[in-house]
Amino acid sequence: MIDPLRELSTEQSDPRYSQIDRLPTEQIARLMNQADAAVPAAVAVVIPAISAAIDAIAERMASGGRLLYVGAGTSGRLAVLDASECPPTFGTDPELVQGVIAGGPDALTRSVEGAEDDDAAGAAAIENLEVGTFDSVVGVSASGRAPFVLGALGEATRRGALTVGLSCNNDAPLSAAAEHAIEVVVGPEVVTGSTRLKAGTAQKLVLNMISTISMVRLGRTYGNQMIEMSAMNNKLAGRAVRMVSDITGADHDTANQALDAAGGQAKIAVLMIQHGLDPEGARALLESHGERLSDALSN
């Protein structure tokens, strides 16, 4: 039987790590740290491809589309993680950025047998989400050949959605299936084939870029401030007050009062202070400038 994964760089065994079971803990930790240090450099090589994908995604999102990540195993868990961070960080509707993992929610905490190999289930997931032409589907697979992900991208393409393939191998089938290919080649893992290590780190770095820069392009930050964040606990509430104070120059009490009147919405609080508006007037001004605080402030 021919092993189709045998030649993949992510499946190779690196002789530098062949004796790790006999090494002291600190030496293993240093080897892992050295291996991890190579990941950002591998990501840097493909920044042009990442940037092109982000611009295309942001353009569709600006027209009302969603950003959907699809993955299996570690890749799927990372996809769900990145998507789940968008509502608290950028104040997005949970439907706007979603993560889809082979095997469903159960696969977040344990392996679901055969889920990765079910291409029909991947296609069905896209169909169930009623993916359309304004949506963007990012397939995430370290090997670049997970059938579930390939099935999802195939259905997304059929429906006219933008498709992106994020893998960690050269000439991956996922790249051929996607409009935008991102291949972050990190090489063999410290523990052979354990792509939750370097490959997982690389995928997380790229997903960070995709979600964060897309939100920046959509006006969901002001400078480097999380102006749309949800103040869901005391730490975040304090951060919101500091943010409004920093942007407007107002003292802590004034910023806090404006935030209370604005229902916790930092953009509204900033406009209330800067333009002397009530909450309704600030909301109307913000809406008239496409929710972009920088434009509303320059009004």
Is 85 one of the catalytic residues?
yes
**Helix ranges (DSSP H) in 63-158:** 73-84, 86-90, 119-128, 147-158
Ramachandran angles phi, psi of 255, nearest 5°: -65, -40
Distances (CA, A) of 253 to 29, 60, 242, 257, 273: 48, 40, 10, 6, 12
Rg (CA), the chain: 22
**Contact of 149 with 143, CB cutoff 8 Å:** no
Alpha carbon 294 to its chain centroid, in Å, reads 24
Distance separating alpha carbons of residues 229 and 259, to the nearest angstrom: 13
| Catalytic-role residue among 11, 95, 113, 116 | 116
Distance linking the first and last C-alpha atoms of the chain: 69
Query: What is the β-pairing status of strands 180-183 and 162-167?
Result: parallel
| Catalytic-role residue among 7, 11, 85, 130 | 85
Is 113 one of the catalytic residues?
no
CA dihedral 141, 146, 147, 150 (to 10 degrees): 30
Catalytic residues: 85, 116
